[in-house]
Structure 1
Amino acid sequence: MIGIMKLAQMRNSSFLLLFLMIIRGGNLYSQQTENVVIAVIDGARYTETFGDPTHQYIPRIWNDLRPQGTIFTSFYNDGITQTNSGHSTILTGTWQSILNDGGELPHKPTLFEYFRKEKNSPASENYVVLGKTKLDILAFSDHADYGASYGGIVDTTDFQYDDVYTLENVKDVITTFHPRLMITNLAATDRAGHDGPWSNYTEKLQRADSIVNELWNFIQADPTYSNKTTLIITNDHGRHTTDFRSHGDGCDGCRHISLLMLGPDTPIDKIEATRYTQVDIAPTIGRLLNFNTYYSTGNIITPALTLPSSETYSIQSGWNIISVPKLASSMLKTELFPSAISSAYSYNGSYLKQDTLENGVGYWIKFPSSQDFTITGLNIETDTIDVVEGWNLIGSLTIPIPITNIGSSSANMILSQFFRYSVNYIIADTLQPCRGYWVKSNQSGQLFLNPIATAHPVAIISENENPPPPPHQEGSSIIETSYSLKQNYPNPFNPATNFQFTITDCQLTILKVYDVLGREVATLLNEVRQPGEYNVNWNASGFPSGFYYYRLQVYDSDESKTRRAATFDETKKLILMK
């Protein structure tokens, strides 16, 4: 379960273990891109890539990489379909018509120039790793306000048109410098297309396919890059529709090219048919790395980014079991469901009142009438949910997920049917967005919610026992709590956020912030406080983007001397997004 985990219930576990469990239950989209790598497979025609229904020449891209990202089936070069113009268009976000022999610079600023000038990025964070020397013009433009002083570093292989050597150069650059922004050209496919025969062209395309797959695996194995890097795989141009040996005009074979994006901000296993063009890549990278591309004429490729969106949901009059299917800027019950006439109740053997809600959790909430409401936030397309032995009240994803797609952490876990509520309990075959569900487990563990069917679905048996009744009905039990630690607001935040908590006695109060490895990064409070409600501000301007956790511990006077047991001990997650 994402979010709140009370350490008072885990006194025999380490604090680091708590963090690791929270991280493992995190959402796929919640990381932020810090690095971008562009890999251009030079001169690959669409009919041999995404346009081939067998995908025989790109098995690694199609079978291994595509499910991890978003592919674009209507991506085009609407400009000059030559190598230097195509690459320059990718890097500038403007249609470039320049000499194809390496004798002319781009006339608008490149991504390297924008990034270095706005972010004060050193040259070593910006690399051009080439498979052909004439592309050394990509490092900078001839624009008067930018130019060489803001350019990237060029690294050219000693073996032109050999993608294997180019890959080794890319790996060396990553290992040594970890550039924030890099483009590499895999030149062999285009060279083989010009030289022929057909088998040579397709062989080099298959090799490029293996190389970009190896590059992605290398990125994901690098601690600095893993889960922080977006890889963009595309082409500079295609080839003539009727003659694969040449290119350079406006035929569909030359213009229709491929685009695949994968990384922490890109939806997974998505095929997008909206038409985009080469000039759209630059502003999209600017959005990912948070810098402006002033002269770009393209549009941000929004389907490749996980951006906040709004959805409207319906609820019935009276009690509803609800979950929050998006990561909203505020997870307060009063802001998500302002018309509710009850508290929000989670379940842990008894009902618990909750002011701040979490993704992946089901809540009982009562409404005065049937109505619609809108939630705005980031989509949650996969989740890991902790369950205990007995009844569990769980949440759902942004998209429907069949029960048969749910996996578990143990082959021995057996579940009841899933129950939804609509005046009475009803057996569900699909978890719908914004709904909560009861499920009974024979043991503690984790459930894996994923829109992609699992090879090992969890075992489900019929359950004759009904789930617990709603709160305030006969047979239900509610625990009232006086202490509270609310979700920080705003969240995500940049650079400051507020923590609100309540204590009920004159007690030693400790509030600390930790990074994802459990290392303390800030002590915000460590003193005796009187009963009451408090707000504490944290300015994180000196900290990098990412996940953090804040922990509130409250000790009675005698306990504070030994630190053996806190009266109240709770941890929550927050996201710094610069």
Structure 2
Amino acid sequence: MKFFLSSISFFLLISSTTVFAQQDDTNIVLITLDGFRWQELFTGADSLLVANTQYVQDTAALKESFWKESAEERREALLPFIWSDVVSMGQIHGNRIYGNKMDLTNSMWFSYPGYNEILTGRADDDHITSNDKIPNPNITVLELANKDARFKNRVVAFGSWDVFPYIINESRSEVKVNAGFDRAIGENLSEKELFLNELQTEIPSPWGSVRLDAFTHHFALEEMKKNHPKLIYIAYGETDDFAHDGDYEAYLKSAHNTDSFIKELWRYTQSDPFYRNNTLFIITTDHGRGTIPIDTWKSHGNNIQGSGSVWLIVFGKGVITKGEVINKGQMFSNQIAPTILKVLKVSSDTSTKKGEEMNLN
């Protein structure tokens, strides 16, 4: 059960003088969008897919919503909060058009290995080789933080995919995980939690292992309002499943909805005294998808070119505003976990070889 920190600097993210000097009280919201391509993040709707009736039922309606002449206009139509608000207060990395790269270090290029890498700070190609519900032998940042007396029971995770209790190893870590079709549990449930519990049983998901992201989002937001966790992980899942279904229209609409979810989370944190001006947002994805040939957009894995290409968005406390980063550079997903530990001032176990966190100056 080793937690390995990357020895590669995580370029261009957080100022050591502004974050690390004031990090004792920093809260962190870590968010992932399962399998959301860097191509849509940076260039918006893909012309080859929007016009393809194999993947879009109503091309005219989709074009009306998301098609614009320029990539900059298309991406803002798709992700208005990211490209109007976040870009002016944070940093967005991974636009390979400019040679700005972020990649996975695991060789699998699918979900469980990707999430393990994000949450533990290392790839584990020896043990994490499938999406099976196997308790993670590796220790995540969530577990490390939860075992720190300052954060005990102040670390939570919400995910749409029902494998997250295993990825986080809920039984060993004692991190509260609400994922898949879990209901809100405990005493003194709010009216909204009771309503979500009831509604979740009445609205069927298209998939057997992934609930609709709206439930994940509102369960997580209600937890933030009630209990003010210091570290919360929210894993949205629809984009990947709609892509596997070959439904490009739903894939884009889901990404657009997630943008509004992130906006709601940010606005809530800025309205609450506990979180206001004291919260760091880190957003990424667990893997990429294919592009060539075009039908590989539905897939990923080490046999699909481009599946290891990912991206990163950061904003909030201590982040130096750089907007879209267009200089050449290389970052890796395994550098996210060390940064979270650095910000929270949480140590790994004694077997850990400590490396460098993201340096986003």
2:162 to 133, 156, 168: 133
Structure possessing the higher relative contact order (Cα contacts under 8 Å, 6 or more residues apart): 2
How do 1:514-529 residues align onto structure 2 when only pairs under 5 Å count? none
Secondary structure in 1 aligned to 2:360? Answer: helix
Asked whether the equivalents of residues 31 and 233 of structure 2 are also in contact (C-alpha less than 8 Å), the reply is yes
Length, aligned pairs only: 271
Match of 2:312 among 232, 245, 259: 259
Match of 1:563 in 2: none
Q: Is the 8 A contact 2:213 2:237 kept in 1?
A: yes
- Structure 1 residue 36: deviation in Å? 0.9
Shift in CA distance, 108/296, structure 1 to aligned 2, threshold 3 Å? farther
| 3-state SS in 2 of match to 1:200 | helix
In structure 1, distance between residues paired with 2:271 and 2:124: 36
Partner of 1:90: 118
Q: Unpaired runs of 5+ in structure 2?
A: 1-16, 45-70, 95-100, 182-199, 201-209
SS state of the match for residue 299, structure 1?
coil
* C-alpha deviation, 1:193, in angstroms: 0.4
- In the TM superposition, what are the counterparts of 1:240-319 in structure 2 within 5 Å? 240-242=290-292, 243-249=296-302, 251-272=304-325, 273=327, 274-293=329-348, 295=352, 299-303=356-360
- SS of match in other structure, 2:133: coil
CA shift for structure 1 position 222: 1.8
CA deviation string 1:288-347 (max 9, x = no partner)? 11112353776311116xxxxxxxxxxxxxxxxxxxxxxxxxxxxxxxxxxxxxxxxxxx
The answer as to 2:129 corresponding to 1:76 is no
Deviations 1:112-138 (A, max 9, x none): 22223344532x211110111112113
- Does the 8 Å contact 1:231/1:261 carry over to 2? yes
Partner of 1:234: 284
Say if 1:299 and 1:28 are closer, same or farther in 2 by CA, change over 3 A: closer
Residue 208 to residue 296, structure 1, CA distance change in 2 (3 Å): farther
SS at structure 2 position matched to 1:253 = coil
Partner residue in 2 for 1:180:
230
Rounded Cα–Cα distance in structure 2 between residues aligned with 1:250 and 1:303: 32
Q: Deviation per CA, 1:443-497, whole angstroms, max 9, x where unpaired? A: xxxxxxxxxxxxxxxxxxxxxxxxxxxxxxxxxxxxxxxxxxxxxxxxxxxxxxx
Contact 2:26/2:317 (CA < 8 Å) preserved in 1?
Answer: no
Rounded to whole Å, the distance in 1 between the matches of 2:88 and 2:39 is 20
Partner Cα separation in structure 1 for residue 167 and residue 353 of structure 2: 16
For residues 66 and 239 of structure 1, what CA distance do their matches in structure 2 show? 24
Query: What letter matches 1:66 in structure 2?
Result: V
Please give the per-residue CA displacement for 1:499-532, whole angstroms capped at 9, x wherever unaligned. xxxxxxxxxxxxxxxxxxxxxxxxxxxxxxxxxx
Q: Aligned runs of 1:463-542 on 2, under 5 Å? A: none
Aligned counterparts of 2:150 and 2:345: Cα–Cα separation in 1: 13
Q: Verify the 8 A CA contact 1:40 1:186 in the aligned structure 2.
A: yes
Q: Distance in 1 between matches of 2:221 and 2:299?
A: 31
| Preserved contact between residue 90 and residue 316 of structure 2 (Cα < 8 Å) | yes
Contact (CA 8 Å) 2:220, 2:234: kept in 1 or not? yes
8 A Cα contact 2:158 2:177, kept in partner: yes
Deviations 1:201-250 (A, max 9, x none): 11211111221122211222221111111111110111112311111116
Q: How does 1:150-549 map to 2 (within 5 A)?
A: 150-156=173-179, 158=181, 159=200, 160-242=210-292, 243-249=296-302, 251-272=304-325, 273=327, 274-293=329-348, 295=352, 299-303=356-360
Q: Which one of the candidate residues 106, 127, 146 is aligned to 2:136?
A: 106
Cα separation, 1, equivalents of 2:167 and 2:86:
27
Contact 1:75-1:258 at 8 Å conserved across structures: yes
Secondary structure at the aligned position of 1:38 is classed as strand
Q: Alpha-carbon deviation of 1:96?
A: 2.9
**1:35 and 2:85 aligned:** no
What displacement does 1:51 show? 4.8
> How many Å separate the matches in 1 of 2:356 and 2:169?
22
Moved more, 266-275 or 208-217: 266-275
More deviation in 195-204 or 258-267? 195-204
C-alpha distance in 1 between matches for 2:330 and 2:253 = 29
Q: Secondary structure at the match of 1:75?
A: strand
SS at match of 1:185: strand
Match of 1:342 in 2: none
Q: Is contact 1:35-1:228 (8 Å) kept?
A: yes
Instruction: Write out the 4+ residue segments of structure 1 that deviate beyond 6 Å after TM superposition.
Output: 27-30
Give me the CA root mean square deviation.
2.5
Tell whether 2:99 aligns with 1:46.
no
Report SS of the residue matched to 2:163: helix
Using the TM superposition, give the Cα deviation of residue 59 of structure 1 relative to its aligned residue in structure 2, in angstroms: 2.3
SS in 2 for 1:70: strand
Once residues 28 and 315 of structure 2 are traced to their aligned partners in structure 1, the CA distance between those partners, rounded to angstroms, is 10
Corresponding letter in the other structure for 1:37: V
Which amino acid counterpart does residue 226 of structure 1 have in structure 2?
A: R
Whole-angstrom distance in 2 between the partners of 1:100 and 1:111: 21
1:250–1:287 distance in 2 versus 1, CA, 3 Å: farther
- DSSP-derived class of the 1:239 partner: coil
Q: Alpha carbons of 1:275 and 1:251: their partners in 2 closer, same or farther (altered >3 Å)?
A: farther
The answer (yes or no) to whether the contact 1:282–1:296 under 8 Å persists in 2 is no
Shift of 1:185: 0.8
- Distance in 2, Cα, partners of 1:151 & 1:239: 33
- Offset at 1:251? 4.7
| Percent identity for Structure 1 against Structure 2 | 25
One-letter amino acid matched to 1:83:
S
Aligned to 1:469: none
Residue 153 of structure 1, CA deviation? 0.6
Q: Distance in 1 between matches of 2:318 and 2:287?
A: 26
- Deviations 1:11-57, CA, capped at 9 Å, x for gaps: xxxxxxxxxxxxxxxx9878545211111011101111125533142
AA of the residue aligned to 1:260: I
**Aligned partners of 2:30, 2:150: CA distance in 1, in Å?**
21
- Tell me, what secondary structure is at the counterpart of 2:298? coil
Q: Larger helix proportion, structure 1 or 2?
A: 2
Taking the aligned partners of 2:115 and 2:132, their CA distance within structure 1 comes to 11
Distance 1:192 1:298, change over 3 A: farther
In structure 1, what is the equivalent of residue 83 of structure 2? 62
CA distance in 2, matches of 1:261, 1:253: 23
**CA 1:238–1:163 in structure 2 vs 1: closer, same or farther (change >3 Å)?**
same
